[in-house]
Structure 1
Amino acid sequence: MHRRRFVIGAASTLALPAVVRAQSLEKPKLTLAVGGKNLLYYLPLTIAESLGYFKAEGLEVTIADFAGGSRALQAVVGGSADVVSGAFEHTLNMQAKGQKLRAFVLQGRAPQVVLGVNPKTMPNYKSVADLKGKKIGVTAPGSSTNVMANFVLAKAGLKPSDVSIIGVGASSGAVAAMKAGQIDAISNLDPVITLLQRAGDLKIISDTRIVAEADRVFGGPMPAGCLYAPQAFIDKNPNTTQALANAMVRADKWIQAAGPADIIKAVPESYLLGDRAVYIDAFMASKGALSADGSIPDAGAATALRALQSIDDSLKGQKFDLAAAWTNDFVKRANQKYPKG
């Protein structure tokens, strides 16, 4: 009997280091860059942080907030951040430049970018062609809001050089620029869009908060906000990457089950831009475009590439490895661990 207990105990002891190794995080402290953290586009990131989902996975995540997604991308390429919470299409743009970046968990299943004109400076607006020679505000030049604006312009036969693109950020500065008439149109996200709309300072042209409209505009599922990282980071830190995916999947699922009052309690007061009712309206308008479980759609990379190629001729002749731009491996395991969030 004693011998049997000893054998079982020894076996358990021998197995323990393997279990510990499997669960250990290679990089428990890391920096995550985002462009406009207050946006509903990145709500899953905020929820994962505020509800302690990162900490529950053993992670200590420092979130560095930038004016737009292109700035967040620069942080990870420059080495000051490990992972980006940003737009999916950046993985393809950078692949064309020889940089291997991969998306591994989704936050948004539609871009949620809204393009609209300023009723003060363009009271007689009739079509997208009227934007020629006008100033368009985006979160930051090169960001997904810029891509969306270029895409809509291209469909109307306009080139990026036919307009002036101005970075206005993703918060009160963007609202102020429209109200003051400093820009003639804006490509931005919620809560900025709903705030402008409620005040009568925006006439919407294209609204990709509506999944069906996004699919129609882009000709297929267009993945939006996600977590992506250099492939080298993922290879070196698979357990850390899994922990990040776990936290984000939990956040995605929590949001889908949440009501307006839950959201208001979970986000910082500063996100509300001084008006809770506007933020609730913005949340309800964007909720359907947020991911239900973190999965990246199979056809998403092809849709994103078509959109990029339609506005950037230099990308048309290049070969892309679409499969290398994304993976659902981590998301599948996260959904197994947290089937109900």
Structure 2
Amino acid sequence: MRTPARYAAPAAAALLALSCLTACANDAASSTSAAGGGGGKGEHVKIMVGGLDKVIYLPAMLTQRLGYFTAEGLNVELLSEPAGVQAETALVSGQVQGAVGFYDHTLDLQVKGKKVESVVQFSHAPGEVEVVSNKAAGSITSPKDFKGKKLGVTGLGSSTDFLTKYLAVKNGVNVSEFTPVAVGAGPTFISALQKGSIDAGMTTDPTVATLLDKKAGKILLDMRTPEGSQAALGGPYPSSSLYMQTDWVNGHKDTVQKLVNAFVKTLKWMSTHSASEIAAKMPADYSQGNKTLYAEAIKSTLPMFTKDGVMPANGPETVEKVLKAFNPNIKNAKVDLGKTYTTEFVEKATG
């Protein structure tokens, strides 16, 4: 049957997007298998990561490189998308069984009628940094100056988008008074900053370390530590985590326990090893030819990680406060925080 003309373009766009997503997933799958034991025997689980080479999501690849998935009898396939919101989409659509991304997506999804929960919490701070271009450094000295500016985020609807909006609103700038621009991370982010496509933006390591090394911009706000999170957001901000659809968790508790066991082992290992030792375990191409700079990036971000995978006290409440400040869907809805995460598996892993 012939497709009506008015539907042809959207249909083609959707098909192209799906093709790109599949291609990216396949590329990521092959690269992770080559890099660290993703193929072979064991129960197969697919996990989408909102940027495998981002230091904030480092536990995903490190767990594979340390062999902890295999030790638990799992064959984990790590896939990668440039932004957490795309990892969320892959999870909700059933492409993968788990997503490594920010915990705040579980609240956002709940008010949209989706039951998703964090099963192990990697961090108690966002690990994000707001940087400003050299050209705009004089006119942007705090989030109060966001009005009229173009602000970079990894993707619209991503956690960098959420946090940028909160910082603006908290400092008296309405979300309609600035322009969020999706620029991804890494080279695309740095290029956008250098070319003036954005005046400032939120990103993570290793992009931050590379940007500073190139002298392409300056740090405006640093949320890589619990102290930085407290200052900017008013409390601990649980960010990177493994979250899964609640129905899948309830139907596969043995598998989830094995995943959580592996991740908790990794978090403990990270807490007793140096940034250089951690860097040495990661795929060689993650350092982009500069091992020293990559180790520095890890060192700067290490304070954000938990040592045991436990949800920090008052963390969910901080996240809810942040989202309610600018997100009308959440502001006018009752969020059941108890259904956005579970400590069942972490308690067994650490016990």
Q: Verify the 8 A CA contact 1:141 1:167 in the aligned structure 2.
A: yes
**Could you say which residue in structure 2 is the equivalent of 1:96?**
111
User: Which of the residues 211, 221, 234 maps onto 1:219?
Assistant: 234
Q: Deviations over 1:136-178 (max 9, x none)?
A: 1111111111111111111121122222222222222222222
Which of 101, 110, 116 is the equivalent residue of 2:131? 116
1:72-83 correspondence runs (5 A): 72-83=87-98
Counterpart residue number, 2:15: none
Q: 1:145 pairs with 160, 166, 172, which one?
A: 160
**What's 1:195 paired with?**
210
- Cα shift at 1:181: 2.5
**Secondary structure, counterpart of 1:140 in structure 2:** coil
- Determine the structure 2 residue equivalent to 1:135: 150
Normalising by structure 1, we get a TM-score of 0.87
Structure 1, unmatched stretches of 5+, are 1-26, 337-341
Compute the displacement of 1:314 (Å): 2.8
2:278, 2:233 → 1: CA distance?
30
CA distance in 2, matches of 1:332, 1:112: 25
Distance 1:127 1:108 in 2: 25
SS in 2 for 1:279: helix
**CA offset at residue 121 of structure 1?**
4.1
Q: 5 Å matches for 1:1-341?
A: 28-336=43-351
Consecutive unaligned residues in structure 2, runs of 5 or more: 1-41
Q: How far has the Cα of 1:97 moved from its partner?
A: 0.7
Give the C-alpha shift of residue 123 in structure 1. Answer: 3.8
Q: Distance in 2 between matches of 1:327 and 1:179?
A: 42
Give the number of the structure whose alpha-carbon radius of gyration is greater. Answer: 1
TM-score normalised by length of structure 2: 0.85
Q: Identity across aligned pairs (percent)?
A: 32
Residue type at the aligned position of 1:136: L
How many angstroms does 1:122 deviate by?
4.3
Q: 1:76 to 1:189 in 2, by over 3 A?
A: same
The CA deviation at 1:228 is: 0.6
Letter in 1 for 2:343: N
Question: Aligned pair count?
Answer: 310
Shift of 1:299: 1.5
Higher relative contact order (CA 8 A, sep 6+): 1
SS at match of 1:293: coil
Task: Kindly state the Cα deviation for residue 185 of structure 1 after the two structures are TM-superposed.
Answer: 0.6
The Cα RMSD (Å) is: 1.5
Indicate the SS of the match to 2:48: strand
